Structure 1
Amino acid sequence: MQRGKKVRILGLMVMLHLFVFVVLEVLWGGGREKRRQPKVVVPSGRFWRAFVPSAAYWNREQQKLDLLHNPILKAENVSAIDWFNATTGRGSCEPDVGVRAQVKDYDALPARFKDFLLYMRCRSYPMVVDQPRACEKKPFLLLAIKSLAPHFDRRQAIRQTWGRAGRLANRTVATVFLLGDAARSDHFPDLRDLLRRESSAHRDLLIWDYRDTFFNLTVKEVLFLDWLERRCRDASFVFKGDDDVFVNTRRVLDFLEGLSPARAESLFVGDVITNAGPHRDRKVKYFVPESVFVGQYPPYAGGGGYLYSGELALRLRSVSPEVPLYPIDDVYTGMCLRKLGLAPERHKGFRTFGIQEKYRDNACVYHSLMLVHRRTPQQIIEIWSWISNPTLKCK
C-alpha cells in the first residue's frame, strides 16, 4: 500500500511539472512570436516629393538628366530622352541661344562664361588628328597629357624624360598629348602646319576641332574618354595630367605593381580636395556664379595629375553623359566619380600645389614622389637627370 501511494504521488508530481512547462512555454513562446513581428512604421509625410526645379542652371540640367536616367522610369524615358536630345540640341554643336533666357544674369557674365553656356550641351567634335595605333601594344600605363598647340617645348621635354613611350621597368608605356584648336581662341597664331609635322615625327598628338580654352578642358576630358573607349580600352592604367608637371614614372610603375587586384580595379588616386565649393569672386579664374551652380563640390583630385585604372576609365566614359558639362574639368571628373558611388583616394606622392622652396633642388625628394606640379621644360629635364643617375643614394 505504501509503495502504491508513493507511485501515485510521483505521477502527480510529473504531471504537475509537465503542466507548468506547457503553461510557461505557451507564455514565453507567445512573447517571442510578438517580438519577432516587425514594427510597422507609417510615414507621416508624403512618400513622393514634389519636383522643384533648382534656381541654378547647371543644377536644373542635372535634375533633368537624373530624371531621364532614373532606372525605375527608364522604360518610359526612352522616348523622353529622344525628345530631350532633339529639343536641346544635345549632340549638336550649334550654340544653344535659349540659355540666355534660362540664366538670370547671363548678360552680366564674363565672355568666357557666356561661351561655355552657349556650347555646354555639345560633347562631340570632329577629330583632326588621330593615332589609331597608339595602343597597338597593350599599354600597362597610358600617359594622357593635356597640352596647348604652342607648347612645343613642354611636349618635347616630356618625350625626352618621364613621358618616353616604350618599355620602362619591363612594362609598356604609351603617351598621347591632348589638344584642341588654339587658333580659334585666345589670339594664338595658326600653328596647324607645325603641328602636322610634329604629329608626323612623333605619332603622339590627338587633336580635335574645338576651341581649346580653360573652360573647355571638360570637353577635352569627355573627348579623351571617347577616344580611349575606341582606341585604347585595354590599357591597364591611365595617368592624366598637365604638360607642366614632373612625373616620376618609375615610382608610378612601382606603386601600380604593388596593388592588390581588388584595389587596382577601382583605383583613382591623386591630390584630393575636399569640402570645396565654387568661387564667387569674379576676379578668380575658377569663378562660378550662383545662377549657374549651387552646392558643394564632391571630393575631387587636382587636375595637375591623377592616376586611375583603365577599367574605371571606361566606367567614367559610360556615366559621363549623365552629368552635365561643368566649366572646371577636375571637379567634373569628381562629379562623375560620385555618380558611380566612388571617391578619389588621397596619395601623398601627388603634389599638385608644388613643394616647399627649400626642397626644390633636392633630388631625393623627387625620387620619393610621383608628381610635382609647375615645372618648366628645363627643370623637368634636369630633375629627370637627377633621379636617373645610378649613383643617387636616398634613404
Structure 2
Amino acid sequence: MAVTPSGLKGGIKEGRVAALMGVRGWGSGGNQLKSPKKPLLLSWFLFLLVLVLLVSCCILSSSSLSLWESLPFQYYHRFHTQTSRVNLPPPYRVHPKHRVKPTGMHETTERPTAPPTVAPTGARFHQAYPRNYHFIMDNQEVCKTETPFLVLMVPVAPENFAARDAIRQTWGKDSVVRGQVVLTLFMLGLSGGADVQEKLHQENLQRGDLIQSDFMDTYLNLTIKTMVIMDWLATRCRSAAYAMKVDSDMFLNVDNLVVMLQKPGIPKVDYLTGMLMWNRPVIRSKDSKWYVPEEMYPEPQYPTYALGMGYVFSNDLPEKFVEASKSIKPFNIEDAYIGMCMKKLGHALTSPPDPSQFKAYNQRYDRCEYSKIITYILGSSQELVEYWRDLKKPGPPWFRSPSSQNNCTIEMSTEEEESRQRKNADQTALMENRRRHFRHILICILGAVTVFFIYLNWDWTFVIRITSALSSDPRPYHVAYPRNYQFIMDDTPTCNTKTPFLVLMVHVATGDVAARDTIRKTWGSDKRVLGQLVEALFVLGLPGGADAEQQQEKLKQENLQHRDLIQSNFQDTYRNLTIKTMVMLEWLAAHCVKASYVMKIDSDMLLHVHNAVKLLLDPSTAKHNYMTGLVWWHSPVSRNPFNKFYMPKSVIAEPEYPPYPLGMAYVMSLDLPAKILAVSAQIKPIFIEDAYLGMCLKRLGISPTDPPEETMFIVDPGHPLSSCNLSKVIAVTTTSIPQMTSYWERSRQPDAKC
C-alpha cells in the first residue's frame, strides 16, 4: 500500500478501501447534527429525485446499459466480487466473458548502482526482485539485544517525517505491551534528494528505527518495498514470533493486537491474517492504477490475500516468501503478490478471531469503537495523535469496563446527563423530521416504480404503428424476404472453375472501397492455407443516395479488375442485413455446394485465416450441420420501443432468442445454406440477421457449437491486442484500417505467439 503524506486526506487507499466500505465521507472527528431542510428545499429535492428515477428507468431499460460499463469505476472491482450481470446485449450484443482485456508490457529499470537524484521512469507494471538491493541503513542490532514478540514494520515515504513522528508518539511508543516486547521499525527506499537523505541520516542517529534499502521509493515499487521488509525479517530478526506490515496512515491498537496473538489456537507458523480479500478480479483496464497485463498475471482473479493496509504473520513466513518469490513474477500490487506467495507455498490465509477488528475507514471517531478494533485508516497524522490522546485519557465520559474488553460503559455527571437528555430530545425531533421526509421520498419512489412497471409492460405496438405511418421505413422490426431479388453482378470464378475448402463471404457497404482493398491486401490474399484453397468474395446490395449511378459504375469497374463482387438488387442498408444474409445463402446454395465450409465475416474484422482453417481441419470439427462463432446464449428479446433491437410480441412472442452466433463472423458447413433457405419460408424474417439465423437453426433442430476456445472470436476488445492474443484469435473486430493492417502484419511474424 502507498504511503500518504500527512496532510493528504484519503490518498491512495481512499479509492481502494472507500469502495469496500461504501463510505461517502470520513475523517475529521464526530458528526455534527444538521438542522432540518426547509420545505422549499425538500420540494426541490423530491422533484429532482423523481426526475432522476424516471430518466434512470429509461436509460437502464435501453441499450445504453453499456455506457455504465464505460464509467471510471474500475477501482471498485478490486474490492467487490463481480456480480452476475443481466445478459442484456449492448449495441453489438457482446457477452462480457468474450471481451479481451488490454495487455501491454513496459520495460523494467535496473537497480541504480548509486543513489539517483531522480526517480526512474521506465517501470510501470513490473520491477524484478532478484535480491539485488542492499540495506544502507540497517539497525540489525535491534533484534539482538532482546527478542521481540512482535515486530511492526511500517513502510513509509522518506519525506514523511510527520507520519513517523506521530507513530512514535502514539502506537509505536510502547516497547512492552501486555508483558511482550514490541518493536516498531520504519522501512524506506531512496527519496532521490540529497537533502532528504541527510535528514534521514540524522533522524536515524537520533531514533535508531529506520531501515533503508537502495530501491527508488515509489508507489509502483511497493512490491519491492514489501519484499525488502520480508528479506530484513528473514535475515536480521529471525527470533521474533510475529510481525506486522502496517501502513503509516493507520491507527493501530497494539494492545488488542497482542491480545489476539496470545489467544489459544493462534498458529505459531504459516500464519497470516488481516482484512481478507476473496475472489478479487484482476484489473485489465489501462486507465486504472491497479492495471496488471495478462503477461504479468494471466489468471482472471487473484488468490486470497490480506489487504495491504495492515496484515499480521508468523515470523517463519518471511524467509519462505523470499524463497517463493524467486519463481513468481512480481508486479506492483504488493498485497495480492503476497497472496500469490502464500498460494505457491500451499498455505491458506486465516480469518482473524474477530474480523471486525480489522477495519478500513470510519466516518467518525468513536472512543468506544477505537477501544475495540485493531486497525483503522486515518486521514492525517494529526488525527492519529488526537484520537490516540483521547483514547488513552483516563476516566469519563468513556472508559473500558474491567470485566470485558469488548464492552464500553458510561459514567456521567449530572450536567452531562442533562446535556445528554437535551441532545436526545434534539435527536428525537430530528429523527421525526427525517421520518416525515422519508415517507415523502418513499411515496415518490413507489410512484416512479409504478410508472416504470407500466412502461415495461405496456403494449407499445400502437406507438410503432403511429411512427411507422410518419416514417419512410414502415416496419422497422420486420423485413420482407420474398425471394425475388436478382444477382446483377455474379461473374466470379470462385466455385465455378475451382472448388475451395473455405469460402469467405465478406459483408461490406457499397461505398467502402478502402475496406475491400485492405482485405484484398491482407487476410483476403491468403489463397492456399495448410494445403487448402481459400477464396474471399464481397457481398453487396444496391448503393443509395443521389450519386447511386456513379457508385454503381465504380463497382462495375472494380469488379472488372478483381472479379470478387457478388451484388444483388436490394437496397444495401442496415435494416436489410437479413436480406443480405439470405441472398448470400442463396448464392452459396446455387454455386458452392461442393465447397466444405463458408465463413460470413464483416469488413471491419481481422481474420486469422490460418487459425480458421486449422479449426476446420481438426478431426473433431463436424462436417455437416455445423455452425460456430461467438455464440450468444439466452439473449433476451428487447421489448423497449426506444431500443435499437426492439421486437414486439406480435413478431416474436418468446422472451429469448434461440442460440445464435454473432453476425460479425461465423462459420457453417456448406450443407446448411440450402437447409436454412428451406425453413426460412416458414419463419417471418426480422432485421436482426444473426438472431434470425438462430431461429432457422432452431426450426431445423440444430444448435450452434461453441468454439474450442472463447478467445477465438472476439468482439469489442481492449486495444491494442498482444501478440499472444493475436496468435490465438480467429476473428476480432478492429477500429480502423491501419489497425487491421498492423494486426495482420504482426500476426504473420514468427514471434506472434504466447
Corresponding position: 1:122 with 2:482? yes
Superposition deviation, residue 393 in structure 1: 4.9
User: What per-residue deviation string (whole Å, max 9, x for no partner) do you get for residues 114-136 of structure 1?
Assistant: 15578625332121111352212
Between the aligned partners of 2:627 and 2:731, the Cα distance in structure 1 is 15
- The aligned residue for residue 533 of structure 2 is 172
Superposition deviation, residue 333 in structure 1: 0.5
Superposition deviation, residue 245 in structure 1: 0.7
For the structure 1 residues 393 and 373, does the alpha-carbon distance in structure 2 shift closer, same or farther, using more than 3 Å as the test? closer
Superposition deviation, residue 228 in structure 1: 0.9
For 1:191-270, what aligned pairs fall within 5 Å after superposition? 191-260=551-620, 263-270=622-629
Which of residues 276, 279, 282 in structure 1 aligns to 2:638?
Answer: 279
- The structure, 1 or 2, with the larger RCO (C-alpha pairs under 8 Å, 6+ apart) is 1
Between the aligned partners of 2:477 and 2:717, the Cα distance in structure 1 is 36
Superposition deviation, residue 316 in structure 1: 1.9
Query: Structure 1 unaligned runs (5+)?
Result: 1-101
Superposition deviation, residue 345 in structure 1: 1.4
Superposition deviation, residue 332 in structure 1: 0.6
Which moved further from structure 2: 105-114 or 169-178? 105-114
Amino acid across the alignment from 2:679: V
User: What per-residue deviation string (whole Å, max 9, x for no partner) do you get for residues 51-110 of structure 1?
Assistant: xxxxxxxxxxxxxxxxxxxxxxxxxxxxxxxxxxxxxxxxxxxxxxxxxxx989523348
For 1:183-198, what aligned pairs fall within 5 Å after superposition? 183=544, 190-198=550-558
Between the aligned partners of 1:137 and 1:158, the Cα distance in structure 2 is 21
**Secondary structure of 1:159 counterpart:** helix
Between the aligned partners of 2:531 and 2:472, the Cα distance in structure 1 is 45
- The aligned residue for residue 24 of structure 1 is none
For the structure 1 residues 363 and 274, does the alpha-carbon distance in structure 2 shift closer, same or farther, using more than 3 Å as the test? same
Superposition deviation, residue 160 in structure 1: 1.1
For the structure 1 residues 103 and 374, does the alpha-carbon distance in structure 2 shift closer, same or farther, using more than 3 Å as the test? farther
Superposition deviation, residue 350 in structure 1: 3.9
For the structure 1 residues 362 and 121, does the alpha-carbon distance in structure 2 shift closer, same or farther, using more than 3 Å as the test? closer
Which of residues 148, 155, 158 in structure 1 aligns to 2:519?
Answer: 158
Corresponding position: 1:300 with 2:660? yes
Alignment RMSD? 2.5
Does structure 2 retain, via aligned residues, the 8 Å contact 1:134–1:174? Answer: yes
Between the aligned partners of 2:545 and 2:588, the Cα distance in structure 1 is 25
Corresponding position: 1:353 with 2:715? yes
Say which structure is richer in helix: 1
Amino acid across the alignment from 1:394: K
Between the two proteins, the alignment pairs up a number of residues equal to: 289
Superposition deviation, residue 304 in structure 1: 0.5
Radius of gyration: which is bigger?
2
**Secondary structure of 1:333 counterpart:** helix
The alignment's TM-score, normalised by the length of structure 2, stands at 0.36
Superposition deviation, residue 111 in structure 1: 3.5
Superposition deviation, residue 298 in structure 1: 0.4
Superposition deviation, residue 349 in structure 1: 3.5
The alignment's TM-score, normalised by the length of structure 1, stands at 0.67
Between the aligned partners of 2:723 and 2:735, the Cα distance in structure 1 is 14
Amino acid across the alignment from 1:356: G
Between the aligned partners of 2:566 and 2:735, the Cα distance in structure 1 is 23
- The aligned residue for residue 745 of structure 2 is 385
Between the aligned partners of 1:210 and 1:155, the Cα distance in structure 2 is 20
Superposition deviation, residue 167 in structure 1: 1.7
Between the aligned partners of 1:193 and 1:121, the Cα distance in structure 2 is 26
**Secondary structure of 1:378 counterpart:** helix
Does structure 2 retain, via aligned residues, the 8 Å contact 1:129–1:205? Answer: yes
Corresponding position: 1:140 with 2:501? yes
**Secondary structure of 1:183 counterpart:** coil
For the structure 1 residues 107 and 188, does the alpha-carbon distance in structure 2 shift closer, same or farther, using more than 3 Å as the test? farther
User: What per-residue deviation string (whole Å, max 9, x for no partner) do you get for residues 276-298 of structure 1?
Assistant: 12223344322223343321210
For the structure 1 residues 231 and 121, does the alpha-carbon distance in structure 2 shift closer, same or farther, using more than 3 Å as the test? closer
Between the aligned partners of 1:384 and 1:112, the Cα distance in structure 2 is 41
Amino acid across the alignment from 2:629: G
